[in-house]
């Protein structure tokens, strides 16, 4: 009965425009598979951009764990190897659910940074319920400028204003 009530509340919240993770129970186990760069610009990916992806990975995991809403699970070397064998997590036809399940997580998360140019980029974050396969959270923020600061500010803004907001 409790699950049916929570499901009904989740559907009602979704219809009202709220995201399920904003109402997440404390300590939901989440497997984060990192950010990928989608470079649609005419410029090659730079080493600085590769470093920024790593910094976003660390920042997101730190913020999720610090929120006390999520327990970020460790990704084992075996799961990392399986992940590396896939083309991209966002195009792996459900592998993220299987890998998150293997890691013991309830949620699978990954992100992308799309580089249109050095001035126009966007950061996208996806969180999927492992059991249902439904996206529980999808949000994108645009950033201007291709710097460490703009990338970090963009992700922090997304988390602060959309994912880790205080429930009202």
pLDDT score, position 67 = 93
CB neighbourhood size of 104 (10 A): 13
Is the full-model pTM beyond 0.85? no
From 20, 22, 29, 14, select the one nearest 165 (Cα to Cα): 22
Confidence of residue 87 (pLDDT cuts 50, 70, 90): low
Residue 61 to residue 125: CA distance in whole angstroms = 12
Average pLDDT of the chain?
A: 85
24-163 under CATH 3.40.50.10610, yes or no: yes
For residue 144, the surrounding DSSP H or E stretch is strand 135-144
**Domain regions of the chain by residue span:** 24-163
pLDDT score, position 26 = 60
Residue 78 to residue 134: CA distance in whole angstroms = 25
Burial (CB count <10 Å: 0-12, 13-18, 19+), residue 58:
exposed
Beta bridge partners of 36: 112
pLDDT score, position 3 = 42
Q: What is the pLDDT of residues 24-74, one digit of tens each?
A: 456 899 999 999 999 999 999 999 999 999 999 999 999 999 999 999 999
């Amino acid at each position: 009965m409790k699950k049916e009530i929570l499901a009904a509340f989740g559907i009602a919240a979704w219809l009202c425009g709220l995201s399920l993770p904003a109402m997440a129970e404390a300590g939901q186990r989440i497997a984060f598979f990192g950010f990928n760069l989608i470079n649609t610009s005419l410029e090659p990916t730079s080493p600085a951009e590769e470093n920024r992806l790593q910094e976003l990975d660390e920042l997101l995991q730190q913020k999720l764990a610090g929120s006390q809403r999520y327990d970020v699970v460790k990704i084992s070397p075996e799961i990392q190897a399986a992940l590396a064998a896939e083309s991209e997590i966002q195009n792996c036809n459900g592998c993220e659910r299987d890998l998150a399940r293997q890691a013991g997580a309830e949620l699978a998360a990954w992100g992308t940074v799309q580089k249109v140019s050095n001035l126009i980029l966007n950061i996208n974050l996806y969180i999927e319920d492992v059991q249902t396969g439904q996206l529980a959270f999808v949000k994108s923020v645009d950033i201007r400028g291709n710097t460490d600061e703009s990338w970090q500010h963009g992700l922090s803004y997304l988390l602060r204003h959309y994912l880790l907001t205080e429930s009202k």
